[in-house]
Amino acid sequence: MTVSDLKQSTADSPKPKINWARMEEADNFAKTVKLFRQGKYDADSFRRFRLQHGAYGTRMTGDYAMVRVKLPAGEIYPHQFEKISQLSERYSIGSAHFSTRENIQLHWVILEDVSEIFRELAEVGLTSREACGNSVRNVMCSPMSGVCTAEEFDATPYALATAKFFLRNPMAQNLPRKFKFNFTCCEKHGMVRMVDVGLIPQIKEIDGTSQRGFKIFLGGGLGNRSFVGHQLEDFTPEEDLLYTSIAVMRIFDRLGDRKNLARNRMRYLVNDMGWEKFQNLVLKERAVVRATQSVITQLDVDHTPDEIKRPIRISDESGSGTPDGYTRWLKTNTETQKQSDYRTVFITLEAGDITSSQLHSLSDIIRDFSSEGKARAGFVQNVALRYVHEDDLPRLYSKLLEIGLAKSGALTMTAPIGCSGTTSCNLALTNSHRLAKEIQRKFLELKLDEDDDLRDSSIKISGCPNSCGQHGIATIGFFGGGARLGKDMYANYQMLLGGRSDGDTMLGQICHRVPAKRVIPVILKIIELFKEHKKPNDTLQSWIHRVATNSEDSEIKTLNDIKKAIDPLTIPPTKEEDPDFYLDYGSDTSYHTKTGKGECAA
């Protein structure tokens, strides 16, 4: 224990506006685990109860759980970082994991310790309630909301109000399946067409006054089958936000498929019914909801502005010079804000993983450098510090260097997403998590993060077809499976190209199967082809987009042409020629596929 362990959060650091926790849920969970262990609670009911409280199953064992802590709108405060740090070393593996949906996950937690985590989370106002199961999952908001140069207004208060309204709400306790809301700042920062309900803030002039509202997209989502969402109407005024949300959920609750759990997300309902019919139903249902509320229900949107106060410097190590790597980091890890003199800094993690001591150090760094005194989880297994004064950036970089969090490339293709894969998930077929880390290490070594042509591209990897790694919206996406040569099995990935989640959202298209140990050379080959055939001003993303949509006119015209070019790299050697080929990343024994029961459908 160090002295800083004992430090109380300073009196003037901002406090969360909402307490998401209920302490009694910890006791209740502990009691229920005991009953379950004594055989007084059947396995199915217990599983549903466990998932409703945010504790997910773990690969090949019933002894451990993964606790998914929700960060509504992605907001996290310094004392909450300290708590997650403690929890990760007490009950987990000494590391925590930032997910793609603004949760922090603690893996390999003993089921009987889960209630202790709930208890300690409640001390800092956090919960994992309804982070799994058939409920409204964490309500996301863009990490740039409030600072984005392109946004029309800050959606954060609406995201928080939506999360608050649905958490523990009876209408959201037994949906046919999970239900997800994403708020964003602008089209470019995206992610609204790949979710049940996606919202972009929008201001419209109506009768001479400007009115706040949203562009709402419904019925999108990634999974075994992915769909792009549809825009409900031109403009949804803010007072209709809640009515629309309730209407959509009521339709899903009523018509969603409760039998066929493999395809019962709302996107299947929308697809089966047809968009126009679904759209009509929503609009009618909304009129009913609006008319039948016995009292006027409105979202409790807290518009109190956050205080922006540059932290006071106690000491100033000026004159120490700019550390090596600073310029590269500044270019690849920071974004300008609409507020002049401030930047948002993205921290590069490896597939979302962070150690307990790094979490602890980050809490001090947030207090010392963020003028809003808190941080935001991002969309890509990362975390952002906003309102960092331009003058403080070199010193912040030095601090991050000290704790091993100053890697460059956060906003580039060199920071791939990798779901947890065979490190903890029952459904995984490959170690997608480690593969993401291997790609990152190799590509940073090759300094690909400095290449402007690659900056807006992305690599996303799932360990199975179920899209937790969001492979369908990656420029280059992969999902895992097994393949064999004769009797010998090896880890293999299906590669998709051309996916994106911005205003031109489209799903990646299948290009080729690539063995795990050939993924890195194949990506490098694609980059090489791009460099050969690119037009001036092309980026890898724009080039792949043309190839994937058959609108390219050079020698490489179609995905099939790319497939042919990389084909030689994908041919498996025999086990005698290359034994390593038959080992998945992170494993020293022969590859074989092994899966347990998934819990996405509770």
State the nearest-atom distance from the C-beta of 37 to another protein, in Å. 8
Q: Based on the shown chain and the rule CB under 8 A, indicate whether residue 5 belongs to the binding site for another protein.
A: yes
Stretch that binds another protein, among 69-77, 107-115, 508-516, 573-581 (CB under 8 A): 107-115
Across the beta sheet with 488-497, the strand order is: 417-418, 459-462, 476-485, 488-497, 509-515
Distance in angstroms (rounded) separating the CA atoms of residues 468 and 463: 8
Stretch that binds another protein, among 59-67, 163-171, 366-374, 470-478 (CB under 8 A): 59-67
Q: Based on the shown chain and the rule CB under 8 A, indicate whether residue 545 belongs to the binding site for another protein.
A: no
Most distant CA atoms of the chain, gap in Å: 76
Whole-angstrom distance between the N-terminal and C-terminal Cα of the chain? 40
What's the per-residue H, E or C state across 56-121? EEECCEEEEEEEEEECHHHEECHHHHHHHHHHHHHHCCCEEEECCCCEEEEEEEEHHHHHHHHHHH
The CB density around residue 403, as the number of other CB atoms within 10 Å, is 17
Distance in angstroms (rounded) separating the CA atoms of residues 21 and 72: 12
Stretch that binds another protein, among 41-49, 69-77, 210-218, 415-423 (CB under 8 A): 415-423
State the nearest-atom distance from the C-beta of 94 to another protein, in Å. 6
Q: Based on the shown chain and the rule CB under 8 A, indicate whether residue 89 belongs to the binding site for another protein.
A: yes
Considering only 10, 23, 94, 260, the residue that binds another protein (CB under 8 A) is 94
**Three-state secondary structure call for residue 350:** strand
Considering only 91, 118, 387, 493, the residue that binds another protein (CB under 8 A) is 91
Whether the Cβ atoms of residue 97 and residue 436 lie closer than 8 Å to each other: no
What's the per-residue H, E or C state across 544-561? HHHHHCCCCCCCCCCHHH
Distance in angstroms (rounded) separating the CA atoms of residues 189 and 143: 9
Segment holding 43, helix H or strand E: helix 43-52
Site for another protein, residues 335 to 364, rule: CB under 8 A: 349-350, 353-355, 358
Q: Based on the shown chain and the rule CB under 8 A, indicate whether residue 423 belongs to the binding site for another protein.
A: yes
Q: Based on the shown chain and the rule CB under 8 A, indicate whether residue 211 belongs to the binding site for another protein.
A: no
State the nearest-atom distance from the C-beta of 483 to another protein, in Å. 19
Q: Based on the shown chain and the rule CB under 8 A, indicate whether residue 85 belongs to the binding site for another protein.
A: no
Q: Based on the shown chain and the rule CB under 8 A, indicate whether residue 131 belongs to the binding site for another protein.
A: no
| Torsion sign over Cα 447, 452, 454, 459 | positive
With respect to another protein, which residue has the nearer C-beta, 63 or 567?
63
Stretch that binds another protein, among 227-235, 319-327, 371-379, 583-591 (CB under 8 A): 583-591
With respect to another protein, which residue has the nearer C-beta, 198 or 409?
409
Q: Based on the shown chain and the rule CB under 8 A, indicate whether residue 424 belongs to the binding site for another protein.
A: yes
**How many residues are given for the chain?**
602
State the nearest-atom distance from the C-beta of 2 to another protein, in Å. 6
Q: Based on the shown chain and the rule CB under 8 A, indicate whether residue 93 belongs to the binding site for another protein.
A: yes
With respect to another protein, which residue has the nearer C-beta, 8 or 294?
8
Site for another protein, residues 431 to 460, rule: CB under 8 A: 431, 433-434, 437
If you count DSSP H runs as helices and E runs as strands, how many of each does the chain have, helices first? 16, 21
With respect to another protein, which residue has the nearer C-beta, 133 or 421?
421
Q: Based on the shown chain and the rule CB under 8 A, indicate whether residue 113 belongs to the binding site for another protein.
A: yes
With respect to another protein, which residue has the nearer C-beta, 422 or 570?
422
State the nearest-atom distance from the C-beta of 344 to another protein, in Å. 22
**Three-state secondary structure call for residue 333:** helix
- Structure-block tokens of residue 588: 């020293």
Site for another protein, residues 28 to 57, rule: CB under 8 A: 30, 33-34
The Cα-based distances of 200 to 81, 159, 507 in angstroms read 29, 11, 20
With respect to another protein, which residue has the nearer C-beta, 142 or 430?
430
State the nearest-atom distance from the C-beta of 31 to another protein, in Å. 10
The Cα-based distances of 453 to 131, 340, 413, 458, 504 in angstroms read 37, 27, 10, 12, 19
**Residue for token pair 């009509």:** 280
Distance in angstroms (rounded) separating the CA atoms of residues 395 and 327: 13
Stretch that binds another protein, among 10-18, 111-119, 166-174, 515-523 (CB under 8 A): 111-119
Stretch that binds another protein, among 12-20, 238-246, 381-389, 420-428 (CB under 8 A): 420-428
Considering only 41, 46, 108, 235, the residue that binds another protein (CB under 8 A) is 108
Whether the Cβ atoms of residue 520 and residue 438 lie closer than 8 Å to each other: yes
Stretch that binds another protein, among 105-113, 124-132, 323-331, 454-462 (CB under 8 A): 105-113
Tell me the site size for another protein, rule CB under 8 A: 48
Whether the Cβ atoms of residue 122 and residue 29 lie closer than 8 Å to each other: no
State the nearest-atom distance from the C-beta of 412 to another protein, in Å. 20
- Structure-block tokens of residue 262: 């493999």
Site for another protein, residues 136 to 195, rule: CB under 8 A: none
Q: Based on the shown chain and the rule CB under 8 A, indicate whether residue 585 belongs to the binding site for another protein.
A: yes
Distance in angstroms (rounded) separating the CA atoms of residues 176 and 178: 7
Binding site for another protein (CB under 8 A): 1-3, 5-6, 30, 33-34, 58-61, 86, 89-95, 97, 107-108, 110, 112-113, 115-116, 349-350, 353-355, 358, 420-424, 431, 433-434, 437, 584-587, 594
